[in-house]
Amino acid sequence: MNLNGIRAIYWFEMARFMRTIWTSLATPVITTSLYFVVFGSAIGRQMGEIDGVPYGAFIVPGLMLLTIFSESILNSSLGIYMPKFTGTIYELLSAPISPLETVLGYVGAATTKSLVIALIIFATAHLFVDLPVAHPLLMLGYLVLVAVAFCLFGFVIGILANGFEQLQVIPLLVVTPLTFLGGAFYSISMLPEPWRTVTLFNPVAYLIDGFRWTFFGTSDVAVAVSLAVTLAFLLACLVAVVVIFRTGWRLKS
């Protein structure tokens, strides 16, 4: 294992994050505050409680994952796309570092950035609501698992993209709508049929529901199913990365 190579990629990517750290940290604080003003105060008064949880606290897991999804995809896709765009990808491919070590460096840095921002949102939420966490260790573990899965997904997007605009297509047109339609700010059980059944075909709904269970101990679907869907998504992204590196498809062009 070439630890020096992994460390070099990791800190190179983290240096890019540090150059805009104040903007990166201020954005989630402002966004979270606005969500609580709109959803927590205005809508929360009308909603009351969901499954015994105040609405202001109920939306926090969904809000954290909404940010995790977007930040993970953005950071990892941009990290691998820039070497392709500048032509330095060939230096990376010819360096004495394996595909696994390359992925560990890029995905590790992107995961770190996403987790930092998610924890900032978590801390900011405590300023507005009393936020219990029923299973703290499982919450952190699930958060890391989701971040890694979506960083791998973003890594694949960055490799396949032919331009900067294509980096935003899937996050904006696919992931964000699925997140809002996957119970990020409401319980799936509140939906009438057939929309509740339709929502169960949305894989993002399982990720959000499983993460919410680590906070409040309640869920709309079995926790084991949510975990299985999360692991399946991570495995699919990992397989895609392996295939791309073995074939060189879109990596060397």
> What pLDDT, in 10s, does the model give residues 177-206?
898 888 888 888 888 888 888 888 999 999
pLDDT > 70 fraction of the chain, expressed in percent and rounded:
95
Strand ranges for the chain from DSSP E: 49-50, 53-54
Give the per-residue pLDDT at 228: 94
Strands 53-54, 49-50: pairing is: antiparallel
Span of 85-94, 146-155, 212-221 with lowest mean pLDDT: 85-94
Angle at which helix 99-125 crosses helix 21-35, to 10 degrees, equals 50
Give the contacts of 34 (CB within 8 A, at least 6 positions apart): none
Q: Residue 252 domain-assigned?
A: no
CA-to-CA distance for 155 and 147, rounded, in angstroms? 12
Give the per-residue pLDDT at 138: 94
Give the per-residue pLDDT at 236: 94
| Residue 80 domain boundaries | 3-247
Q: Which residue has the higher pLDDT, 119 or 40?
A: 119
CA-to-CA distance for 152 and 30, rounded, in angstroms? 27
- The answer to pTM > 0.85 is yes
Amino acid at 65: L
Angle at which helix 21-35 crosses helix 60-86, to 10 degrees, equals 150
Cβ–Cβ under 8 Å, residues 93 and 39:
no
Give the contacts of 59 (CB within 8 A, at least 6 positions apart): 35, 39, 40, 184, 185
Rg (CA), the chain: 19
Give the per-residue pLDDT at 163: 81
Give the per-residue pLDDT at 94: 78
Q: Residue 220 domain-assigned?
A: yes
Q: Residue 16 domain-assigned?
A: yes
Cβ–Cβ under 8 Å, residues 188 and 171:
no
Sign (positive or negative) of CA dihedral 173, 177, 179, 182: negative
Q: What is the DSSP string of 142-154?
A: HHHHHHHHHHHHH
Give the per-residue pLDDT at 189: 84
* Percent of the chain as helix, strand, coil, to the nearest 5: 75, 0, 20
151: pLDDT strictly greater than 90: yes
Q: Residue 152 domain-assigned?
A: yes
Q: Which residue has the higher pLDDT, 101 or 138?
A: 138
103 DSSP assignment: H
Q: Which residue has the higher pLDDT, 140 or 25?
A: 140
Mean confidence (pLDDT) of the chain: 85
Cβ–Cβ under 8 Å, residues 157 and 77:
yes
Q: Residue 253 domain-assigned?
A: no
**Top-ranked range on mean pLDDT: pick from 5-19, 117-131, 140-154, 189-203:** 140-154
CA-to-CA distance for 44 and 59, rounded, in angstroms? 10
Q: Which H helix or E strand runs over 244?
A: helix 223-247
Give the per-residue pLDDT at 40: 65
Count CB neighbours of 162 within 10 A.
Answer: 11
User: In total, how many domains does the chain have?
Assistant: 1
